[in-house]
A and B are shown apart, each in its own frame.
Chain A
């Protein structure tokens, strides 16, 4: 390639093929680059550690310096007075939200995925649904709150009730459930389906009795992960009006304030006592999320090898 190849091979410059390249410099550059990349990668780890440490110390300081009693915290509802404020109503609301959201999103999400994966012909309509799904996954969560606010809370006069928040969350997690269910269905080998068809079963019988049972662990894992995300969503609930409610909801038609909105309420207050209440709330919220993630990982590991 190069015209002065004799020059490169001349003994005066070392005799090697790569004499125009200072190898030790290249290796130094490579090593420096490696450390730079490693440092950048550690940034995320360090921030995560700082975040958890900050929450933990604020939580601990709340217990010791601000006398936040955990018993009161779990048995009292929200309050405008910092020394009377508890988290019970928010926890109950969040659990209720999870249940209603799961009911609303699970069947529709799994059903959509079955249609797209098993039935849908490769037409323009199918491609439109698939493309739309990808875009829905990127819609900011606050917009789902706006939709519920305009259509349900004010549109049909539902008011700021838990069901309106659950609908917003269900629409928000629907794309996640659909995509994870599609993956679970795709992981069921075609041989299983063909075996079922060979016995004369229809498509629906095959799906219901053969494919779905095989894919169910994957579907459950995806759904639990989606719900674990929904439990931390704040913005759609705030738009729906889940703020300032200081009492426990008794059903999906009650007004509510869930864990994240309650945390927001406390964090937005200037008083340090409220900040420590927020930290305590975050510990509970993160505990919920880690348990849900743990269950999902356990399910995945348990059923991973069976097919």
Chain B
């Protein structure tokens, strides 16, 4: 919709009109520059992460390598992706990232087991069952849940979920003396955080299903249960999946809640009451210390950051693709 002010025949532009048009062009150019900043931000993120991660793996930054600095392998990809000990800041450093990748994936999967069933059920309830009165109270409440800062969820985990909810259970059922941190409290708290994301996006997708489909089913004698599970859910499935992917993406990048809930001990374990460390928690622990610029520990921050960025980017692209499919169907 470009409305260019071209004068018709017989109309002359006076000086004022010409300067108006020049101002319009200028504004357009400046505004484009602003919009370009968002693209520049993405490029800057890519560049900064790759440039610094390069010195972690090759001993020289990307920019230095291009100007002819010598390349020496410091940390091999094999060690990074298959090593099972992660301790870049120890006296005898080890650079196997599997424990922190495990931590991140464990929290993500655990959180998904909380947020996906509860979020989907909430979405179905809001979209199909709830009366307008209940809906108008439940929705804003969930929005409050979504708006609470992650540091508060971290606090909730360390001050409530772990010591008051989980510790007695661990003690009574398994005889485990629960420490300050546990993988399970991280899973729970990240799961709780991502419920509103699943429920609100899934509900949008379910509300977009045309009423004709529902009425058709009711005309055949279907109950609300049948309509919800056999009509609405399948019809909105790509939107619902998009919400799952978004929640998973958020869980991967979650930082403060997992740092305070799950701890700083990088290990691969099947015991949910153990302390673990996620990729983001490692980044926070590095930033907490006094890490000198240019050291391997400092560079490891960017290698882990790059991995995190690539993981969430993949999820976001997948989410975009699914969302586009779901928009095409009903608009």
Question: Which A residues are within 8 Å of any B CB, using their own CB?
Answer: 17-18, 21, 26-27, 29-30, 33-34, 36-38, 40-41, 43-45, 47-48, 50-51, 54-55, 58, 107-109, 111-112, 114-116, 119-121, 128-129, 131-136, 138-147, 149-151, 154-155, 171, 174-175, 178, 197, 200-205, 207-208, 228-229, 231-235, 238-239, 241, 243, 260, 263-264, 267-268, 270, 275, 278-279, 282, 285-286, 289, 293
Contact bitstring B164-208, A, C-beta under 8 A = 1, else 0: 000000000000000010000000000010011001000000000
Q: Do residues B253 and A142 form an inter-chain contact, with CB atoms below 8 A?
A: yes
Q: Do residues A129 and B36 form an inter-chain contact, with CB atoms below 8 A?
A: yes
Knowing A146-B49, A282-B155 touch, does A139 contact B34 (C-beta < 8 A)? no
In the complex, besides A29-B223, A128-B39, A138-B315, 13 extra interface pairs with C-beta distance below 8 angstroms are: A21-B221, A34-B129, A44-B141, A50-B160, A114-B31, A129-B36, A129-B38, A143-B309, A200-B17, A202-B21, A243-B288, A263-B151, A278-B155
Q: Which residues does chain A contribute within 8 Å of B221, judged by CB atoms?
A: 17-18, 21
Contact of A264 among B24, B129, B151 (CB under 8 A): B151
**Contact sample, A vs B, 16 pairs, CB 8 Å cutoff:** A37-B125, A43-B118, A44-B199, A112-B31, A132-B38, A142-B255, A142-B284, A143-B253, A146-B49, A147-B41, A150-B52, A203-B24, A205-B24, A208-B27, A228-B147, A289-B147
Complex Cα distance, B319 from A139, in Å, reads 13
Complex Cα distance, B249 from A138, in Å, reads 8
Q: Which residues does chain A contribute within 8 Å of B17, judged by CB atoms?
A: 200
Q: Which residues does chain B contribute within 8 Å of A17, judged by CB atoms?
A: 221
- Give the secondary structure class of B's interface: helix
Q: Do residues A178 and B196 form an inter-chain contact, with CB atoms below 8 A?
A: no
Complex Cα distance, B149 from A263, in Å, reads 11
Contact of A33 among B32, B44, B225 (CB under 8 A): B225
Task: Let me know if B23 is at the binding interface, CB within 8 A.
Answer: yes
Distance to closest chain A CB from B113 (angstroms): 13
Distance to closest chain B CB from A252 (angstroms): 20
Question: Which residues 190-245 in B have Cβ within 8 Å of A in the complex?
Answer: 192, 195-196, 199, 221, 223-226, 228-229
Q: Do residues A140 and B312 form an inter-chain contact, with CB atoms below 8 A?
A: yes
Q: Do residues B147 and A229 form an inter-chain contact, with CB atoms below 8 A?
A: yes
Q: Which residues does chain A contribute within 8 Å of B302, judged by CB atoms?
A: 146, 150
A to B contact number (C-beta, < 8 Å): 274
Which A residue's beta carbon lies closest to that of B228?
A: A33
Complex Cα distance, B51 from A48, in Å, reads 42
Q: Which residues does chain B contribute within 8 Å of A43, judged by CB atoms?
A: 118, 122, 195
Q: Which residues does chain A contribute within 8 Å of B36, judged by CB atoms?
A: 129
Q: Which residues does chain A contribute within 8 Å of B142, judged by CB atoms?
A: 44
Q: Do residues A115 and B305 form an inter-chain contact, with CB atoms below 8 A?
A: no
Q: Which residues does chain B contribute within 8 Å of A263, judged by CB atoms?
A: 151, 155
Which B residue's beta carbon lies closest to that of A260?
A: B151
Which A residue's beta carbon lies closest to that of B323?
A: A134
Contact bitstring B30-53, A, C-beta under 8 A = 1, else 0: 111011111101101100110110
Complex Cα distance, B315 from A170, in Å, reads 23
Which B residue's beta carbon lies closest to that of A135?
A: B316
Task: Let me know if B145 is at the binding interface, CB within 8 A.
Answer: yes
Question: Which residues 106-125 in B have Cβ within 8 Å of A in the complex?
Answer: 117-118, 121-122, 124-125
Contact bitstring B252-268, A, C-beta under 8 A = 1, else 0: 11111001100000000
Distance to closest chain A CB from B48 (angstroms): 4
Which A residue's beta carbon lies closest to that of B188?
A: A47
Q: Which residues does chain B contribute within 8 Å of A286, judged by CB atoms?
A: 148, 152
Q: Do residues A285 and B152 form an inter-chain contact, with CB atoms below 8 A?
A: yes
Q: Do residues A26 and B223 form an inter-chain contact, with CB atoms below 8 A?
A: yes
Q: Which residues does chain A contribute within 8 Å of B151, judged by CB atoms?
A: 232, 234, 260, 263-264, 267, 282, 285
Task: Let me know if B80 is at the binding interface, CB within 8 A.
Answer: no
Distance to closest chain A CB from B230 (angstroms): 12
Q: Which residues does chain B contribute within 8 Å of A175, judged by CB atoms?
A: 38
Q: Do residues A174 and B141 form an inter-chain contact, with CB atoms below 8 A?
A: no
Distance to closest chain B CB from A49 (angstroms): 9
Q: Do residues A115 and B255 form an inter-chain contact, with CB atoms below 8 A?
A: no
Which B residue's beta carbon lies closest to that of A171?
A: B41
* Residue of B34, B254, B284, B308 with most partner-chain A CB within 10 A: B34
Task: Let me know if B283 is at the binding interface, CB within 8 A.
Answer: yes
Q: Do residues B44 and A147 form an inter-chain contact, with CB atoms below 8 A?
A: yes
Q: Do residues B305 and A238 form an inter-chain contact, with CB atoms below 8 A?
A: no
Task: Let me know if B159 is at the binding interface, CB within 8 A.
Answer: yes
Contact of B255 among A26, A235, A293 (CB under 8 A): A235
Task: Let me know if B271 is at the binding interface, CB within 8 A.
Answer: no
Complex Cα distance, B144 from A111, in Å, reads 29
Distance to closest chain B CB from A143 (angstroms): 5
Q: Do residues A143 and B308 form an inter-chain contact, with CB atoms below 8 A?
A: yes
Complex Cα distance, B151 from A263, in Å, reads 8
The 9 closest A-B pairs by CB, nearest first: A140-B253, A232-B149, A40-B121, A111-B34, A115-B31, A138-B316, A37-B125, A235-B255, A204-B24
Q: Which residues does chain B contribute within 8 Å of A121, judged by CB atoms?
A: 2
Q: Which residues does chain B contribute within 8 Å of A133, judged by CB atoms?
A: 38
Q: Do residues B48 and A150 form an inter-chain contact, with CB atoms below 8 A?
A: yes
Contact of B287 among A239, A268, A278 (CB under 8 A): A239
Q: Which residues does chain A contribute within 8 Å of B252, judged by CB atoms?
A: 140
Complex Cα distance, B281 from A238, in Å, reads 11
Q: Do residues A235 and B280 form an inter-chain contact, with CB atoms below 8 A?
A: yes
Complex Cα distance, B152 from A147, in Å, reads 24
Complex Cα distance, B225 from A54, in Å, reads 37
Complex Cα distance, B301 from A286, in Å, reads 31
